[in-house]
C-alpha cells in the first residue's frame, strides 16, 4: 500500500494516484497481511475473487 501526500493512495493494479476515500482494499481471507488497494475502475475489472474480502472505508489511513 503506497500512501502519497498523506491523503492520496496509489492503485496496486494501474498505479494511478487518487484520494484515499475513493479506495477499495482487497484482503485475502487466509492472510490478512496480503492487501491490495484498487481504484474503482480496477475493482470493476477484477471484482472480488473467491477467498478475498472487500473493505471500502480505509479513510482512517489518511494523515
Q: For the chain, what percent of residues have pLDDT higher than 90?
A: 65
Predicted TM-score (pTM) of this structure: 0.81
Q: What is the mean pLDDT of residues 25-41?
A: 92
DSSP 44: H
> pLDDT-derived band of residue 11, with 50, 70 and 90 as boundaries?
very high
The DSSP line for 12-38 is TTT--EEEGGG-EEEEETTEEEEEEEE
Give residue 63's pLDDT: 60
Averaged pLDDT of the chain: 88
DSSP 47: -
Amino acid at each position: 500500500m503506497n500512501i502519497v501526500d498523506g491523503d492520496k493512495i496509489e492503485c496496486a493494479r494501474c498505479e494511478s494516484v487518487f484520494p484515499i476515500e475513493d479506495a477499495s482494499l482487497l484482503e485475502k481471507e487466509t492472510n490478512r497481511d496480503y492487501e491490495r488497494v484498487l481504484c474503482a475502475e480496477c475493482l470493476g475489472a477484477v471484482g472480488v475473487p473467491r477467498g478475498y474480502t472487500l473493505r471500502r472505508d480505509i479513510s482512517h489511513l489518511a494523515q
